[in-house]
Structure 1
Amino acid sequence: MIKPGDARLRYDVVDVFTDRPYAGNPLAVVHGADRLDTAQLQRIAQEFNLSETAFPMRPTQDGADYRLRIFTPRAELPFAGHPSVGSAWVLARDGAIGIGEAVQECGAGLLPISVDQAGATLTGGPARLGAELDAAELAAAAGLDVSDVDGAGAPGIAGCGIEFAYLLVRPDAVSRAMVEAAAAKRAGVPHGLVVVSYDSESNAAHARMFAPNLGVREDPATGSAALGLGVWLADRGLVGDGDTRYVVSQGAEIGRPSTLDCTVTVEDYTVTRATVRGGVVPVASGTLATPST
């Protein structure tokens, strides 16, 4: 393994799901870390202390253009949206991959991603649906009353590479949510709880995502949750067959307004594809010391 002083690692910090700096979701992208072990990668993620830090690496599977490992300050994730979008854009900017179509290898499999000059569009993994959850218990975990719940869609678990719990609430309730970690765990929340309102006429969602057990009290923009939202909306009958575009607004409550442009494709009541697109803006770059083993 690399020892301290052997080399310094280059990094970039970018803001994702925004068109301007200091909005969206900040991401650290650390280059050249293929030879580091998991503990070293985790220490780097702890040092940045962002919702996620991403490590692009050489691919290990046929058909992939690169491999991406993703860490929160506490744990490695198999997949996440804003690290995927941000890392692909950085790699294309640097010429490691081309503008256009690429394939990312990660814990959720081989995922298509399309990079443009301003950002990237990520296609999620296979759609998955989990159990329905108790509305009153989830609302209480989010610091809300059961009267805040919107009965148009029963709460439950869905995902497109990583799973979240979704709680549909009235529009005025989203900004009042504040999730307590132990209560969320008791209520059956997996990686995170998404508190969301949804307007079926405009296909506009206002969401907040809380994952305190992963060291993420509240995420400014969660691409993987936006993908899973499409799966959940389709299962609850809130979008129909064909291609539906919906826009997720997130992060304003914590001063990081974000916009996630999404599509979900439904055929015979089954989700066959979900995508999320976001802009990427560079903020900082530099080098960092390699952690000891």
Structure 2
Amino acid sequence: MSTLAYEIVDVFTDRPFAGNPLAVVFGAEKLATEQMQALALEFNLSETVFVLSPTQVGATYRARIFTPAEELPFAGHPSVGAAVTASRRGMFGVGRVTQECGAGVLPIEVTETGAVLTGGTPTLGPELDPEPLLEMAGLTAADHAGPAPRVAGCGLEFPYLPVRPDAVARARVNAAAAEQYGVEHVSVFSWDAATQTAHARVFVPGLGVPEDPATGSAALGLGVWLVASGLLPGEGRSEYAVRQGVEIKRPSSLACTVTAAGGVAVGATVAGHVMPVARGEIAVPPFVG
């Protein structure tokens, strides 16, 4: 029976059994997409990443990222976890590397304990009616706080719904509302201006992930939203933090920056630690394509 090496790591935490668990699989160059998807479903984590040889000039490696339901062009915690785990396995050293993925070739600064990921080109949508997002999150109009929701991202877009601090813990996915409005995911958060910290929860029912413990891509896009909403400066580089996963007993900490010019975000980074938890081998699923 053919097998592949894998590691399980916890991302965006400085201790094991917290943060966002991730399966990192090596040596899968010959697998078809259907086989990778089958492995992601077998691990049944929010994401599984396959570290492959690059196909683009200038890339250190290629990452293919899967939820249990489908492949993603980009995601934050798989990118951070893949880079650090591959470095620890001796594929490359610490320092600057470049990851090829569906969002392009992205720079990552790898350290001994974690990594800093630079997101893709920032995107920002128009203001949204908060009612569908509130209904999807099991909240009411009284829970909405601050500027209007908008879709934003740095490689993977999310709708951002700002709410009162007490509403974050009360949020619950309303799957029927999500299906009715065609909303696959949402970031529900409160903002503490004094500490420049967001307390966030990210629900992704459309991709088979009821709630994500730590979402690097959503943390990146939040910076775009914060600048557009006037909650972070429209010029220069600002730091902010995201706390996530507390409600599902996977506390996570994401350290972020956003750079703005002319009132518009032009770049963002997210950083965090990576803790090894397990390693082993998994059977290669039969090709059924």
C-alpha separation between the residues in 2 aligned to 1:188 and 1:73?
Answer: 19
**1:247-275 deviation digits (Å, cap 9, x = unpaired):** 10000100000000000011111212100
Matched, 1:155 2:157: no
Query: Please, what is the CA RMSD of the aligned residues?
Result: 1.0
Matching residue within 129, 134, 153 for 2:129? 134
**1:207-242 deviation digits (Å, cap 9, x = unpaired):** 000001100000000000000000011111110121
Q: CA deviation at 1:172?
A: 0.4
C-alpha separation between the residues in 2 aligned to 1:273 and 1:188?
Answer: 28
C-alpha separation between the residues in 1 aligned to 2:199 and 2:57?
Answer: 38
Matched, 1:96 2:87: no
* SS of match in other structure, 2:22: strand
Number of the residue aligned with 1:145: 140
* SS of match in other structure, 2:29: coil
Matching residue within 166, 169, 187 for 2:163? 169
The answer as to whether partners of 1:134 and 1:187 remain within 8 angstroms in 2 is no
C-alpha separation between the residues in 1 aligned to 2:175 and 2:268?
Answer: 29
Give ranges in structure 1 of 5+ residues lacking alignment: none
Q: Which amino acid aligns with 2:110?
A: V
Number of the residue aligned with 1:238: 231
C-alpha separation between the residues in 2 aligned to 1:19 and 1:59?
Answer: 29
Matched, 1:276 2:270: yes
TM-score, length of structure 1 as denominator length: 0.96
C-alpha separation between the residues in 1 aligned to 2:92 and 2:202?
Answer: 31
Number of the residue aligned with 1:178: 172
Q: CA deviation at 1:187?
A: 3.7
Label 1:185 to 1:244 Cα distance change in 2 as closer, same or farther (>3 A). farther
Label 1:155 to 1:187 Cα distance change in 2 as closer, same or farther (>3 A). farther
Q: CA deviation at 1:188?
A: 5.3
Number of the residue aligned with 1:28: 23
Q: CA deviation at 1:97?
A: 1.7
Matching residue within 247, 253, 262 for 1:253? 247
The answer as to whether partners of 1:89 and 1:116 remain within 8 angstroms in 2 is yes
The answer as to whether partners of 1:16 and 1:82 remain within 8 angstroms in 2 is yes
C-alpha separation between the residues in 1 aligned to 2:14 and 2:231?
Answer: 29
**1:10-47 deviation digits (Å, cap 9, x = unpaired):** 00000000000000000000100011000000000000
C-alpha separation between the residues in 2 aligned to 1:275 and 1:187?
Answer: 31
Matched, 1:109 2:104: yes
Give ranges in structure 2 of 5+ residues lacking alignment: none
How many pairs does the alignment contain? 286
C-alpha separation between the residues in 2 aligned to 1:131 and 1:180?
Answer: 24
State the identity %: 59
Q: Which amino acid aligns with 2:254?
A: L
C-alpha separation between the residues in 2 aligned to 1:144 and 1:114?
Answer: 39
